[in-house]
Every structure is written in C-alpha cells, then in structure tokens.
Amino acid sequence: MAIARFPSIVIDCPDPDALARFYGTMLDWKVEARPDWVEIRADYGACISFQQVEDYSAPVWPGQLSPQQMHLDVVVDDLDEGEAAVIALGATKHDHQPGTTFRVFLDPAGHPFCLCLD
C-alpha cells in the first residue's frame, strides 16, 4: 500500500495567475484560484499548482548556475503546430535545442518545458 498519493506539482513563479492561465490554456485544463496559490486541473484529476515567490529568479538552462530543478514534458501531435501555439500564449523558444523529437521552450516565468512527440 502506498504511503502517500501524488496530487500535484507546485511551480514557484512571480505571478501564479498568469502562469496558471498559460499552462491551463496550453493543456486545456480548468484554472482554479486557491487562497495561497492557483491550480490547473484536468478532467481526469491531474493537477499543477502555482505559488508566488518573492524575489523569484528564473532558472538558467542548459547551464546550472541557477538550475531548473524540474521541468514539464508535454506531448503534441505536431511540433511545428505546438510551437506556434505555445509562442502565441507567451512562451519563448530556447536557443539550445538538443534533440529532434522534442523542443525546449521557456514559459512566461522562465521555466523550461518541452513539447515532445509521442
């Protein structure tokens, strides 16, 4: 029997509302404001939470001076279409692209995330 369940990932950021809207729109998940943070939730229950951090410093990728500590990989059917859509939401394509089956982007708060082919 499990000791705990995995209810969500919490991402530090300077503006939880804005980052939740970014990921909520990208994943088509419902945005829900909580007292101390904002969550996005899938119909099937998966959840990502966003909490405000004072003096937030974005990670630097691929360097480790300010490490990313975690990132999200999301699956898309077409990398070009996915790229256009996330850039329209406010993502930035990173200059360093180490693979051909995925692309690295920075969300509006500077966290790396990857669009991946299945």
Is the N-terminal amide bond of 62 cis, ω within 30° of 0? yes
- What is the domain range of residue 89? 9-54+62-117
Q: What is the pTM of this model?
A: 0.82
User: What are 6-42's pLDDT values in tens digits?
Assistant: 767 889 999 999 999 999 999 999 999 987 789 999 9
Q: pLDDT at residue 96 above 80? A: yes
Average the pLDDT over each of 51-65, 79-93, 94-108 and give the range with the smallest value.
51-65
Residue 3 lies in a domain: no
Residue 28 lies in a domain: yes
DSSP, residue by residue, the chain: --S-----EEEEES-HHHHHHHHHHHHT-EEEE-SSEEEEE-TTS-EEEEEE-TT-----SSSSSS-----EEEEES-HHHHHHHHHHHT-EE-S----SSEEEEE-TTS-EEEEEE-
* Number of domains composing the chain: 1
Residue 100 lies in a domain: yes
Residue 103 lies in a domain: yes
User: What are 46-66's pLDDT values in tens digits?
Assistant: 999 999 988 998 998 888 888
Residue 1 lies in a domain: no
Q: Tokens standing for 29?
A: 């998940």
Average pLDDT, the chain: 90
Dist CA 27 CA 54 (whole Å): 27
CATH code of 90's domain:
3.10.180.10
Q: What is the pLDDT of residue 110?
A: 94
Q: Tokens standing for 115?
A: 């669009």
CA–CA distance from 31 to each of 61, 73, 99 (Å)? 27, 19, 31
